Amino acid sequence: MKRFQAVLNRNSTIKIAIILSILIFVEFSCRSQHSSTVINPKLVFSELDTFVTSVDNIQINKDDYFLIKDFTKDKIKMKSILDSFVNIHPEFKSPGFGNYVVYFYLEDDNLNEDIIKREKPMYRYKLFTFFKEKNYLVSYTFRNMKFSYLDWSSEYYK
């Protein structure tokens, strides 16, 4: 009888270990699927452009650049996250700009806040131009305070 109880206790311990392993695996899988996307709330670069139109009107355009850490490859989820980010920032729809473009780039070792800060402000746009093929994600364009256009990178996962 004691031997039977020892075998039963050992089997119970193995079953509990297997169940715990499965639960840990499931929890880890769920966490990795729902890993948070972090949009750097600090504006990493902003550019104003003023020009005179063909009918002598002055137009001011603004471009803002944001970096994203820990992005998801799920385009639908990413779009939802970015739409929410854009919608909670009323300044993107603020008056005074003919065109206002909000760019989102993926942050990595080649394009990050430290590298951008080291570049002279007058040349920072070149970093975004240089890394556009690899790091560009999407841009939201607003014209006269209204959403106008959404441009996803062709390289982004579909």
Is residue 148 assigned to a domain?
yes
Looking at the fold, whether 121 and 50 belong to one and the same domain comes out as yes
Rounded Cα distance, 81 and 62, in Å: 22
Instruction: Tell me what pLDDT residue 3 has.
Output: 53
68 and 126: one domain?
A: yes
pLDDT tens digits, 2-19: 554 544 455 666 666 555
Q: Does residue 30 surpass a pLDDT of 50?
A: no
Q: What does the block give as tokens for 138?
A: 């999407």
Whether 44 and 78 map to the same domain: the answer is yes
Average pLDDT over residues 100-106: 90
| Least confidently predicted of 18-27, 114-123, 129-138 | 18-27
Query: Is residue 47 located within the same domain as residue 122?
Result: yes
Residues 2 and 74 placed together within one structural domain of the fold: no
pTM above 0.85, yes or no: no
Q: What average pLDDT does the segment 90-102 reach?
A: 81
The arithmetic mean of pLDDT across residues 25-51, rounded, is: 65
Amino acid, res. 26: V
Query: Domain range holding 60?
Result: 38-152
158 CB-near residues (< 8 Å, 6+ apart)? 75
What's the pLDDT score for residue 20? 47
- The total of structural domains in the chain comes to 2
For the chain, give the percent of residues with pLDDT over 70.
71
Q: What number is the average pLDDT over the span 51-69?
A: 87
Q: Give the pLDDT band (50/70/90) at residue 103.
A: very high
Q: Give the mean model confidence (pLDDT) for residues 149-155.
A: 83
Q: Residue 29 CA to chain centroid, in angstroms?
A: 21
The rounded radius of gyration (Å) of the Cα atoms in the chain is 25
108 and 143 in a single domain? The answer is yes
- Do 2 and 49 share a domain, yes or no? no
In a domain, 102, yes or no: yes
Give me the mean pLDDT over the 134-151 stretch: 87
Average pLDDT, the chain: 76
Q: Is the pLDDT of residue 95 over 50?
A: yes
